[in-house]
Structures are given as structure tokens and as C-alpha cells.
Chain A
Amino acid sequence: MVTAAARHVADGEVVFVGMRLPLLGFLLAKETHAPNAVGIYELGIVRDSAAPAPILTMGDLPNLYRASWLADTGDAMALLQQGRVDLSFIGGAQVDLYGNLNTTCIGDLQHPETRLPGSGGACDLASLAGRHILIMAHQRRRFVPRVDYITSPGYGDGPGWRRRVGLPRGGPSAVITTLGCFSFDPRSRRMQLDTIHPGVAPETIRSETGWPIDLPEAPAETTPPSEHELKVLRRFDPEGYWTGRR
């Protein structure tokens, strides 16, 4: 998932980097095909080089070391709100077919079955970045026809919704899941499969998605991580904290 996400970063882009897996995705992109990408972190950091040592949070001191700018959250958010951010990555608990993301509550807001941590900066990234990418575990309970709560707006109820509610730009461009890579049809704004991860059956995607999803007859396979990409990942995540060897 990290590798597939990292490949969405074009060289020279300004990336607003969210907490957890996106931290690693940005470092990977930076050390492989996108050496000129610039990272912005919501706690008030801009950096144009990878952190010199492994980090688990964006506030770990290696991420502050020789930063381009150490400033305030309001300064990082100013760059985002102005439209200076090309791309951001966010993770989520529940997503729907229009890419709306819920990280606030499962069930009724007043009496939730499960209370989740909330937005953090995710709502801001989904509202204001040029485009954003969702990174999610692919399970039927997470891929629902309509999210219980829109924490981070996707395409709302379909075409034209973002403009109608007043969002200035953006929208989700991709969803990277444990089963495949997805994008959004430009006309209907509905989620569609791009590539399926090696070894995953199309039937699994169908059964783990909570709405009838159209799948091509012979979907292309996601290119697995290269030796070089794996080497870089091991350097930034030596104990496998994020990449599953924990």
C-alpha cells in the first residue's frame, strides 16, 4: 500500500503529509522517483529533504532536523488553504462510493457504536488540497454505500457537489486499499478499480465492498514493490512498525 501510494507523488510536487502510513509513503517517494518533492506537516514543518533517521510521528526530532521551515500549524494550513498544496494522503476508518471519509463515529452521532479519534487535519486536507489519496484496509464494514458521518469530504453525493457546498478545489483522486488501487470516474464520481494487487481474486473485492462495484473482466495487476523500494522502506521502517512485521 505504501509503495502504491508513493508512486502517486510526481517529482517537484508539494505534498501535505498526514500521520501514520503517509509519513512513510512520502519518504519513499522522496528517496526514489520524486527527489524534488516538498513535504508540509500540519504541526508546522516544511521540509525538502527526507528525515535523516526513522520516524514514527511527524513530531519526532529527526523530522525537525534541518527542516526548510519550522513554524506554526496556522502557517502550514495557510499554504494549504491558499491552494499551494498539490497532493495529500489520508487514512480512514469508513469510506463510501463517492470517496467521503469517516474517522469520527460509527453509528448515530449522539449514541455511537464506536467513537473514533476524529478529523485531525484530514478534513482540511480533503477540503483544500489539489487532490488527495485515501489509504484504507479493504473490508465490507469499512466500504459502505454511505458513510455515517462525513469527516473528510470526497465527492459528496456525486458530480457538482463540491462546488455546490463551496469547496474551492480538489477531491479524492485515488484509494489505495489492502486489495487494490481505485480511482474515481470523472463523470459519475463513483469509485472504480484501476489495478488489483497480485494474488487477490476479483470476487474478494466484490464481497468486501458494500455496494455493487463494477469490475473489468481482466483487471490489471498492481506492480509489486521493487527491490530498491523495499530497501528504502526497510531503511525508514527498520523494525517493521508500519509495514507489518511487528
Chain B
Amino acid sequence: MPAEKRMRLDEAIDRFVEDGSCVAMGTGLETCIPFSAGHEIIRQKKKNLVLIGPISDVLFDQLIGAGCVRKVQAAWVGNVITGSGYNFRRAVEQGRLTVEDHSNLTLTMALRAGAMGVSFMPSKTALGSDLVRSNPGLKPIFCPFTGERLMAVSAICPDVCIVPVQRADVHGNAHAWGNLGLSREACLASKRIILTAERIVAPEVIGSDPNRVLTPGFRVSAVVHEPWGAHPSPMPGFYNRDHQAFVDYQEASRTAESYHRWKATWVDGVSDREKYMDRLGSERIQALALGEHLISEPADFGY
């Protein structure tokens, strides 16, 4: 029998996110962002983390504001619908945070190199750009076969990646659907994987549709049952994006003081995601429910 990996979120973060470790999050881009896990990292006052992700929406900004982060390797840090991430800005402008600037394609290639077990991947992007000035992991090279210019992207192998999924079994086999962003590469490249699942289901449910499995269960370290774990980002099949939360966060993060008031309410002021949802209130939660369902046709995996 494969090992059971189900545990509480606080236990998973305590065991698998060490101070100073490299953590990949937000690999779905605008969807399925592990806000719940990020808030637990803040509550546990983790320090000196290196965050890896394409566009984390406001999650990286929240972790930076809480003082958990020493460096980011990212394509974009801000608030997708409003623009700037104010904690990120303050930290860089005051010299407290190192940034390795990626594009979405170079970060994909860095994680794919990690996933493939090679030291770099070539691409054709960013040639002539200044990304090479703020990322030592990018170097123009010549193709040994055609002689054309390529951008070599150095591999990234995170210590841990955290991915919200729709449903998982206790062994770490999980169904993820919707757009997947960089999640497959991030899982394969990472030493450890934490999944937060909207639902825990029997292994037979996952086994009925193996094409939908995110990554092999034997590579997963922890499975956490965490309904609403991606709020306020959207979770296909479960809930829509809570735009108001992002607009409110823009105002709340404008100064360090107002950010700390926001954190005291929404992170430190709630012990877990259940209390967070209580604070959000049933009216707000109901407004995010899917209004239109679309159930896919079953596929026959028999023999």
C-alpha cells in the first residue's frame, strides 16, 4: 500500500517549508493560487524564503510584506487587476529584497530544465532585453547545430512547491483541471510537493481518469484537505474569482502600517481557513459560486 500523506495545513507547512528554502507557488498564474498555504507560512513566521513563481497575483506581495522573503525569482509581482504590489515595491526600493527577473517563458524553461534533470533549457525569448542584467540564470548562447542565437535558461529546482487542486486521494494522486500554467513543471522540478485539495476522494475516483492526474502520487509529500484554499483566486469547478478582495487589498497595502492592519485581520486574526471563511461571510461566499455548470463527457479507460 502506498503511504498515507494526509495532514493538516499547519503540520505540512511546519514540516516541509523550512526557513531559507526555495518555495514555488502561484504556478497556475491567475487561477489556483495557494493563498491559504501562504497565509499559514506568514502565521508561522517563516524567514528568508526564496519565492519562485510566474505571476502570483498578490500572494508574493503579502509574503514580502510579512517579512518572510529574501529573494524572488518571478516574471511579475503585483496585483493583476490594479497594477503595483506595494510591499514588493517598498522592499526592492529600500534594498531589502533581491529580484531575479524572469519572463513567463524563461521561468517555464527554468522549471522544465529542473523537471528534466538537465542544467539548462534553450529558448528564443528575451534576446537583446535587459533581463540578462537582473538574472544571472539567463545567458545568450549559440546553437551547436545551427549556429543561431539562443537564450540559455538555468535550471530551477525548488525545495518545495505548493499547488491547490480540485480533488486528491490520501496518497497524493490528484485531479487538476482548467489551465495548468507551470504547475506540471514545478511539481516535477521540486524536491517536495504539498497539495491542498478542495476535496479528498477515494483512490478509485482518481484512478478512473489518470490523464487528469497532476503529478505521480509517489512524488507528493503532503495532501491537505483545504476547501477554499485558493480564495480569492478562482478554482475551476468550485468558485469564481473574488475581484473585490484584490481591489480591497490594493488600498490595504498602500502603506506598511495599513498592510499590517490587513494582516492582523485576515491572516494573524484567523487560526485557519475555516475561520477566514467565517470572517468573509456567507453572502460573499455565495456570490462566488458557479452560476453555470459544464460537466464533461466521461471517457472510457477500460480494457
What is A's interface to B at a CB cutoff of 8 Å?
19-20, 41-45, 52, 56-61, 64-66, 70-74, 77, 80-81, 104-105, 109, 111-124, 127-128, 149-153, 156, 161-162, 165-168, 241
The answer on a CB contact under 8 Å between A81 and B180 is no
**17 A-B interface contacts by CB (under 8 A):** A56-B241, A57-B241, A60-B240, A64-B236, A73-B29, A73-B181, A109-B130, A117-B78, A120-B104, A124-B125, A127-B129, A128-B124, A151-B130, A166-B124, A166-B150, A167-B124, A167-B127
The answer on a CB contact under 8 Å between B179 and A115 is no
The answer on a CB contact under 8 Å between B127 and A165 is yes
Q: How far is the CA of A105 from the CA of B182 in the complex (A)?
A: 25
Task: Answer whether residue B271 sits at the interface, using C-beta atoms and an 8 A cutoff.
Answer: no
Q: How far is the CA of A124 from the CA of B103 in the complex (A)?
A: 7
The answer on a CB contact under 8 Å between B128 and A149 is no
Interface-lining segment among B16-24, B37-45, B80-88, B215-223: B80-88
The answer on a CB contact under 8 Å between A44 and B131 is no
Question: Of B89, B103, B177, B292, which is within 8 A of A123 by CB?
Answer: B103
Given A61-B236, A72-B181, A124-B105, are A117 and B130 neighbors across the interface (CB < 8 Å)? no
Instruction: Known pairs A111-B95, A119-B131, A151-B131; list 20 more (Cβ under 8 Å).
Output: A42-B104, A43-B30, A59-B29, A59-B233, A72-B179, A72-B180, A72-B183, A74-B182, A81-B105, A116-B84, A119-B75, A119-B76, A120-B76, A121-B75, A123-B103, A128-B105, A150-B129, A153-B128, A165-B149, A167-B127
For the complex formed, measure the closest distance between the CB of B288 and the CB atoms of chain A, giving whole angstroms. Answer: 10
Q: How far is the CA of A145 from the CA of B58 in the complex (A)?
A: 32
| B131: chain A residues within 8 A (beta carbon) | 119, 123, 151
Task: Answer whether residue B28 sits at the interface, using C-beta atoms and an 8 A cutoff.
Answer: yes
B:128-146 near A, CB below 8 Å = 128-131, 133-134, 140
The answer on a CB contact under 8 Å between A43 and B29 is yes
The answer on a CB contact under 8 Å between B30 and A120 is no
Q: How far is the CA of A80 from the CA of B126 in the complex (A)?
A: 13
Task: Answer whether residue B158 sits at the interface, using C-beta atoms and an 8 A cutoff.
Answer: no
Interface of A is mostly: loop
Task: Answer whether residue B68 sits at the interface, using C-beta atoms and an 8 A cutoff.
Answer: no
For the complex formed, measure the closest distance between the CB of B7 and the CB atoms of chain A, giving whole angstroms. Answer: 28
Question: Of B30, B89, B184, which is within 8 A of A59 by CB?
Answer: B30
| B127: chain A residues within 8 A (beta carbon) | 127, 153, 165-167
Q: How far is the CA of A156 from the CA of B127 in the complex (A)?
A: 11
Closest 10 CB pairs of A and B: A166-B149, A59-B30, A165-B128, A117-B78, A120-B76, A43-B29, A44-B179, A115-B92, A123-B103, A59-B31
The answer on a CB contact under 8 Å between A118 and B128 is no
For the complex formed, measure the closest distance between the CB of B170 and the CB atoms of chain A, giving whole angstroms. Answer: 26
Given A19-B80, A109-B133, are A162 and B85 neighbors across the interface (CB < 8 Å)? no
| A151: chain B residues within 8 A (beta carbon) | 101, 129-131
The answer on a CB contact under 8 Å between A44 and B126 is no
Over the window 1-41 of chain B, the binary record of Cβ atoms lying under 8 Å from chain A Cβ atoms (1 yes, 0 no) is 00000000000000000000000000011110000000000
Task: Answer whether residue B210 sits at the interface, using C-beta atoms and an 8 A cutoff.
Answer: no
For the complex formed, measure the closest distance between the CB of A19 and the CB atoms of chain B, giving whole angstroms. Answer: 6
Q: Which residue of B lies closest to A148 (CB)?
A: B130
Q: How far is the CA of A128 from the CA of B124 in the complex (A)?
A: 8
| A150: chain B residues within 8 A (beta carbon) | 128-130
Given A113-B93, A121-B104, are A81 and B85 neighbors across the interface (CB < 8 Å)? no
Q: How far is the CA of A112 from the CA of B92 in the complex (A)?
A: 8
Q: Which residue of A lies closest to B102 (CB)?
A: A119
For the complex formed, measure the closest distance between the CB of A38 and the CB atoms of chain B, giving whole angstroms. Answer: 16
Task: Answer whether residue B185 sits at the interface, using C-beta atoms and an 8 A cutoff.
Answer: yes
For the complex formed, measure the closest distance between the CB of A157 and the CB atoms of chain B, giving whole angstroms. Answer: 10
Task: Answer whether residue B284 sits at the interface, using C-beta atoms and an 8 A cutoff.
Answer: no
Q: How far is the CA of A58 from the CA of B292 in the complex (A)?
A: 18
The answer on a CB contact under 8 Å between B93 and A115 is yes
Q: Which of B28, B99, B125 has the most A CB atoms < 10 Å from its CB?
A: B125
The answer on a CB contact under 8 Å between A118 and B76 is yes
Q: Which residue of B lies closest to A242 (CB)?
A: B81
The answer on a CB contact under 8 Å between A112 and B93 is yes
Q: Which residue of A lies closest to B28 (CB)?
A: A43
Q: How far is the CA of A41 from the CA of B28 in the complex (A)?
A: 12
Q: Which residue of A lies closest to B91 (CB)?
A: A115
Q: Which residue of B lies closest to A66 (CB)?
A: B294
Question: Of A56, A120, A152, which is within 8 A of B129 by CB?
Answer: A152
| B83: chain A residues within 8 A (beta carbon) | 117
For the complex formed, measure the closest distance between the CB of A137 and the CB atoms of chain B, giving whole angstroms. Answer: 12
For the complex formed, measure the closest distance between the CB of B208 and the CB atoms of chain A, giving whole angstroms. Answer: 19
Task: Answer whether residue B168 sits at the interface, using C-beta atoms and an 8 A cutoff.
Answer: no
Q: How far is the CA of A156 from the CA of B129 in the complex (A)?
A: 9
